[in-house]
Amino acid sequence: MELKPLLITNARLIDGDTPRPGSLLVAGGRIAAIDPTDIPDGTETVDAKGQWLAPGIIDLGVFATDKPAFHFGGITRAALMPDAGPLDDPGLVERAAKGGKPDLWVHPVAAATKGLAGKELAEIGLMKSAGARAVATGRTRIADAGVMRRVLAYAASLGLVTIIHAEDEGLTAGAVATDGEMATRLGLASAPAIAEAIAIARDLALVEETGAPVHFRQVTTARGLALVRAAKASGLPVTCGITPAHLFLSDTAIGDFRTFARLSPPLRSEDDRHACLAAVADGTIDILSSGHDPRGPEDKRLPFAEALPGMAGAETLLALGLNLVRDGHVALGRLFDMLSATPACVLGVNAGRLEPGKEADLILIDDGTPWQVDAKKMAAYAGNTPFDGMPVQGRATAMWKGGLRVR
Amino acid sequence: MTTSTIRPASDYPPGGDAFRHRHLIGIAQLTPWEISYVLDAAEEWVDLNRAGAAKHNDKLAGLTIINAFFENSTRTLLSFEIAGKRLGADVVNMHAAQSSVKKGETLIDTAMTLNAMRADAMVIRHGSSGAVQLIADKVDCPVLNAGDGRHEHPTQALLDALTIRRRLGRVEGLTIAICGDVLHSRVARSNILALTLLGNEVRVVAPPTLTPPAIERMHVTTFTDMDEGLKDADVVMMLRLQNERMDGAYLPSAREYHALYGLTPKRLEKAKPDAIVMHPGPMNRGVEIDSSIADHPTRSTITEQVEMGVAVRMACLDILTRRQRGVAGWN
């Protein structure tokens, strides 16, 4: 089916720090021109009525293909973590890659090791041919430094970035919270925050040796961020990300044993939270993602330590990201670098910016719409949001995937 | 033995305002006067319990109390059972080992099942911190926490406070050393909360591997040297050391623990001459406490703690069921 050319007029384009009035032409599923002068015959026109026109969000690291949530959140591409499955086999990867058709791009992330057990290399090359866009260690790190070194070198030779979960398994064994007053008062097993920095330090040494590109999916502590900052300054191929939870919540959120605030890595101290905000502002943190991990009551309506970690984050990602702009932590252009452009680079996809030639994954955003996060009324298949009840502003109102209107 | 004066009822707000809680989940929710209100109420039950053969009061006659214990317990379960029966209630015990919990039923489903049987109060022990709160949020009757994970064990802290008050005449302005495995202890957490709230200086004496992180944020001072920690203490409160902590992960061995942290007569000399020694039981004689101290007639309060346990639990069951029983002023 040949798509008709599409012209979005009367929009405010997000291709810099200030939304600017303009229009955008899509042809053949790609962005053909910004502020076009020649409009082909038969072009369909959409009046954006002054709303923001932005690249679709590329969510780097989700744990479920949850289309309603992604569509609500303006997410056009989701990089699916290998944990469900696990995605350690080309067949599974191929199936996962088709899981979004026709209205969502799913980019599977290959398991680094068989069964994510951290022992033997998985068939990374075959999985790449089957559609895998990156490699990941999953919800935990690879404990064995020898295995990790081989994974990094092997993935790098195939041109894939390795996505790392950075927590030392010895320090975090059995822990469900970060060491501190809150965990001690609640009587929860906790681990010191340095578990993150220790894991990052080891992997940075391996990166230095192998030259392999890595992405730390979530860096959430001052010490971890300092290591990443220094590594970037010395020119290592390192990026890191975070979710809104660690930017807007600290471990006080687990008070009353709220299992929706049980996350991995766990929520940190208020000092670490401020360090994360500073790292967003100074560019140390490259990517903002949702970590979308919907969990129903069977996983969450349990005693805190027995509940599974994770949050449904896809629907709140954009609105909470806009909070960062309103609070003055980042400029608007950089927010969309974190949400779209940089994840596109890590995954090696031709999208993530409003530029001619890019895939036409587009969203319209009404930046003024106020709404309230309500765990009981989420589009996601489970409403486990730690932001329940929070008033927020801004939401996606329309969405195109490769020029095809999906919302 | 000195006995402290019970405050007159006029010292407390009238009726239900004296204890404004539907459940007893933890000491963290209580105010100092609510604690002393419970202690005063318990004093009356001490007298009844000591009054010869007829130890029966029918205040709770016709009420059903379910003791749901998802974790093994002998003395706490027995203590709650006796407390309920002395008040005339019908007491039913549910042991997790015999229940559908083993068949994979979730905690909430079990709680809803018990709730549908229309219990008038539930006493719950569970191995996971926060589990009792989770149940309390879902059921219609008062819930008493008989211990949840490492979180709280409020009736133990109340009975300890009562024991101290009866032995030393007051439970304020004292120096109290809590010694042992504080990291894994709900008894320690509830006692720290209660004793600091009542205005005592609380010390935590423990090996660094068994000291909870940031515990000083609970207004205690920490010691790793037992002799220093016991210096001039009025109360030495020992904690039970679980056998599985001595396998090398937290502590090298039982004998090393005894050498460094065991309460011996020589060590006790560092405390005040009339200092009392407490232990929530069951004891590991020769590990955390020497037998000569545990059995000491004037300094050890260990059996008295057990006795106070029944009285405090009677007081808690009485107070928390007043609303259902339509006691005047409690609505």
> Please, which residues 99-118 of chain B have a Cβ atom closer than 8 Å to chain A?
106-108
Q: How close B299 gets to chain A, by Cα (Å)?
A: 31
User: What pLDDT is recorded for position B102?
Assistant: 58
Q: How close B92 gets to chain A, by Cα (Å)?
A: 24
User: What pLDDT is recorded for position B323?
Assistant: 94
B264-317 per-position pLDDT tens digit: 999 999 999 999 999 998 999 999 999 999 999 999 999 999 999 999 999 999
Range in A84-88, A342-346, B189-193 with the lowest mean pLDDT? A84-88
Residues of chain A contacting B217 with CB distance shorter than 8 Å? 181, 184-185
Beta bridge partners, A12, equal A21, A52
Alpha helix ranges (H) inside A31-180 = 67-73, 90-98, 124-129, 145-157, 169-172
- Hey, what amino acid is at A135? V
With cut-offs at 50, 70 and 90, classify the pLDDT of residue A175. very high
Q: Region B172-194: what's the mean pLDDT?
A: 97
* Strand, coil or helix: B287: coil
Give yes or no for a contact between B171 and B197, defined as CB atoms under 8 angstroms apart: no
Give Rg (Cα) of chain B: 20
Question: What does pLDDT average to over chain B?
Answer: 93
User: What pLDDT is recorded for position A322?
Assistant: 97
How far apart, in whole angstroms, are the C-alpha atoms of residue A107 and residue B113?
45
**What is the DSSP track for B293-329?**
HHT-TTTB-HHHHHHHHHHHHHHHHHHHTHHHHT-TT
User: What pLDDT is recorded for position B100?
Assistant: 57
A47-101 per-position pLDDT tens digit: 999 999 999 999 999 999 999 999 999 999 999 999 988 999 999 999 999 999 9
User: What pLDDT is recorded for position B89?
Assistant: 97
User: What pLDDT is recorded for position A1?
Assistant: 55
Q: Which residue, chain included where needed, has tokens 């040297």?
A: B225
Q: How far apart are the first and last CA of chain A?
A: 19
**What is the DSSP track for A160-197?**
-PEEE----HHHHTT--EESSHHHHHHT--EE-THHHH
How far apart, in whole angstroms, are the C-alpha atoms of residue A322 and residue A192?
31
CB contact under 8 A, A188 and B150: yes
User: What pLDDT is recorded for position A380?
Assistant: 93
Range in A51-60, A251-260, B69-78, B99-108 with the lowest mean pLDDT? B99-108
For chain B, helix, strand, coil in percent to 5 are: 45, 15, 40
Cα angle, residue B105 at apex, residues B63 and A299 outer, rounded to 5°: 120
* Strand, coil or helix: B232: coil
With cut-offs at 50, 70 and 90, classify the pLDDT of residue B258. very high
With cut-offs at 50, 70 and 90, classify the pLDDT of residue B4. low
Going edge to edge, which strands form the sheet with A287-288?
Answer: A57-62, A75-80, A105-111, A134-136, A162-164, A214-216, A238-242, A287-288
CB contact under 8 A, A184 and B151: no
Residues of chain A contacting B215 with CB distance shorter than 8 Å? 184
Strands (E), chain B: 64-69, 90-95, 121-126, 143-148, 175-179, 201-205, 221-223, 235-238, 276-278
Nearest CA in chain B to A301: B108
> Which residue among A179, A257, A298 places its CB closest to the CB of B214?
A179
User: What pLDDT is recorded for position B134?
Assistant: 95
Using CA atoms, how far residue B96 sits from B104, B107, B110, in Å, is: 11, 11, 10
Q: Region A277-285: what's the mean pLDDT?
A: 98
User: What pLDDT is recorded for position A3?
Assistant: 80
How far apart, in whole angstroms, are the C-alpha atoms of residue A130 and residue A301?
37
* Burial class (CB within 10 angstroms; exposed 0-12, middle 13-18, buried 19+) of A229: middle
Residues of chain A contacting B130 with CB distance shorter than 8 Å? 186, 188, 257, 303-305
Residues of chain B contacting A187 with CB distance shorter than 8 Å? 129, 148-152, 186, 189
Q: How close B44 gets to chain A, by Cα (Å)?
A: 32
Question: What does pLDDT average to over chain A?
Answer: 96
Q: Which residue, chain included where needed, has tokens 């489970």?
A: A382
CB contact under 8 A, B134 and A257: yes
How far apart, in whole angstroms, are the C-alpha atoms of residue B307 and residue B289?
20
How many CA atoms lie within 13 Å of B52's alpha carbon, on the beta-carbon side? 1
With cut-offs at 50, 70 and 90, classify the pLDDT of residue B97. low
User: What pLDDT is recorded for position B10?
Assistant: 85
User: What pLDDT is recorded for position B95?
Assistant: 84
Percent of chain B with pLDDT over 90: 82
Provide CB contacts within 8 A for A238, sequence distance 6+: A204, A207, A213, A214, A215, A216, A228, A231, A232
Q: Please report how the helices B154-168 and B302-320 are oriented relative to each other, as an axis angle in degrees rounded to 10.
A: 120
Percent of chain A with pLDDT over 70: 100
- The pTM of this model reads 0.94
B242-251 per-position pLDDT tens digit: 877 776 789 9
User: What pLDDT is recorded for position A193?
Assistant: 98
Cα maximum dimension of chain A: 69
pLDDT of B52 above 80: no
Q: How close A249 gets to chain B, by Cα (Å)?
A: 20
User: What pLDDT is recorded for position A275?
Assistant: 98
pLDDT of B98 above 80: no
Residues of chain B contacting A180 with CB distance shorter than 8 Å? 213-214
pLDDT of B65 above 90: yes
User: What pLDDT is recorded for position B101?
Assistant: 61
Residue (of A73, A74, A7, A4) closest to A39 by Cα position? A7
With cut-offs at 50, 70 and 90, classify the pLDDT of residue B99. low
How far apart, in whole angstroms, are the C-alpha atoms of residue B283 and residue B265?
16
CB contact under 8 A, A192 and B129: no
> Which residue among B130, B189, B217 places its CB closest to the CB of A257?
B130
Q: Please report how the helices B32-50 and B154-168 are oriented relative to each other, as an axis angle in degrees rounded to 10.
A: 70
